[in-house]
Structure 1
Amino acid sequence: MELKTPLYDAHVKAGGKIVPFGGYLLPVQYEAGVIKEHMAVRTQAGLFDVSHMGEVLCEGKDALANLQMILTNNFDNMVDGQARYSPMCNEDGGTVDDLIVYKKSDEHYFIVVNAANKDKDYQWMLAHQFGEVTFTDVSEHYAQLALQGPKAMEILKKLTAEENIPKKYYHAVFDTEVAGIPCIISKTGYTGEDGVELYLDSADAEKMWDILLENGKEEGLIPCGLGARDTLRMEAAMPLYGHEMDDTVSPLETGLGFAVKMAKEDFIGKAALEDKKAPQRKRIGLKVTGRGIIREHQDVFKDGCKIGITTSGTHCPYLGYPIAMALVEEGTAEIGDKLEAEVRGRKVEAEVVALPFYKRSK
């Protein structure tokens, strides 16, 4: 039985097409459609309900030591209010999940995990905790809204004082407000655009949703669903758990080496990653040059030999052509190479291109 986010009724009222995703019932699109929603985020602004994501508190004298061991990134040089992305590995070096850690204070961290992995992640943390630390799943208490796009900040500044908005990317302001509603404002997102994610009490979610949409009308703000969230993150080449990574794919193979600090004294999975020496696979970008759209789980060939498999693929509204990401054997594909993917028994041509496919101009 799928759960409903606090905004379920608002989605139905707005004409959202509801589908099951990550254990929740969520809108895949609204009446405007995926293409218009995607373009609104790239050129104006879009509002997403991401309340299905999970939130876990990590508190206590040994909170930092636990994060250092359980996660691959390094957290000992963070300032209060800073956010940091990190994979979480198993003992074999595969990826349990990828998540974001916010530092509220030396003994208080706020962790955001993927919806479908929420329970798995929480149990993993509990199973590996040590010393004076408490992990608490607080997901039910929080709603999360993502206001994204080049006009996002204009809209937000109508509703809160400038000092409440984080100045830097991957920073957050705790215990603040938007339109008088208590929340956390985080300068993060999953679209490749400027914007914020707001964490607030579930009971206030619908009120905040309505206020944002009303105040963003002049800037072209529209509600956006899972469809546009996926096409936007794909243009920005942002990996998605269960696609570009899973329990069998290491963060080094999927291009997340920047968030794996091998110089750290230890973390779960470090020994396995060291044993493997260099990664055996790598994530690449494909621009489809033939006819057709390449989706996930399509075999990828070079000169007739299979070298890997696609992990995500779609037609990108802003770029105007189809793209895909793939995991291929290390050393088999370089930028500019011509490859093929097998789509329903037919080979579709593609060219290896640099990631990300799309990068916003500052």
Structure 2
Amino acid sequence: MTAVVHPGRTATSRRPVWWWVRLGATAATLAVLVWRVGTGPFLDGVRTVDGRALAAAAGIAVLTTICGAWRWRVVARGLGVELALGPAVAAYYRSIFLNVALPGGVLGDLHRGISHGRRTRDVGRGLRAVAWERSAGQVVQVVLTVAVLLVAVSPVRAAMPFVAAALLVAAVGVVPAMRWRAGGRSRWARLRRAAARDLHDGLLARRAWAAIVLLSALVVAGHAITFLIAARTAGATAPASRMVPLALLVLLAAALPNVGGWGPREGVAAWAFAAAGLGASRGVATAVVYGVMVFAASLPGAVVLVAAWARGTRSPPELAWPLRRGGGVVAPQDGVQDV
């Protein structure tokens, strides 16, 4: 008898291994930091957070969350699904809270994509919209970071020309990849066609790419300003011209696999601040302050979760009517609000 292989079971069985590797790497990073700088910077970072810093982080988070939700709407519209801005902002807040409160850093986005997909009766489309939205934001973040690090004094300035050249080569390769249509009916061919179609319709369409770039730049600017406030709160007195490259470098590292946002962010902050002559301890304290500020600013997402639980549901209000290309409208489930 031929054995039947269940891909879902295989992925599930492998998932704990990846989680433990991620957790182990984060724990090792933090352990090395404690060994090198002690627990003082961590405790100082928590103690120095004040109400003004938390209020500033919360105010900036409102703007960055609206920009992120708006970017999600733009991408989703390109994929054939409309989103109302208000519910989208609530869902985005919820995903941010879950990202910083749970290990992994992406569980909130995963839940956001699945929830939206169920509402529109197309989970695959919902997950793709979230994946492309986050990917687009990270691409813009990388480009902005490299551009700043090319001209500003930083510990990695010497390597930036090579990084910029690699990004240029990758960008040039996207164009033929979009135009190339894989033949055949294999799974790989279908994935290539779907990815090319999503890029063309959802991200690089004439009415989409400019909005995505602008909104992503505003999000990056908001996070950088929050980091600068965290640095000042932690006692760093270097001018902004010196701090901005470090902030962008640390924020880029924060996108690496982590546990609730912790791990790579603190490690790179310690290294970058030490290389810039500001002290590894100050870098760790700044990263800790930033982490506390981000967590506090994400608490409206917890309110969204509690409100959903109080209504007896597992997700926020319906996000939109599932509009399809060609004028077709799929009737929403009960409770869906018109856009």
Q: Which has the higher strand share?
A: 1
RCO higher in structure (CA 8 A, sep ≥6) = 2
**Into which bin does the TM-score normalised by the smaller protein fall?**
0.3 to 0.5
Under a length normalisation based on structure 2, what TM-score does the superposition of the two structures give? Answer: 0.33
Under a length normalisation based on structure 1, what TM-score does the superposition of the two structures give? Answer: 0.31
Q: Which has the higher helix share?
A: 2
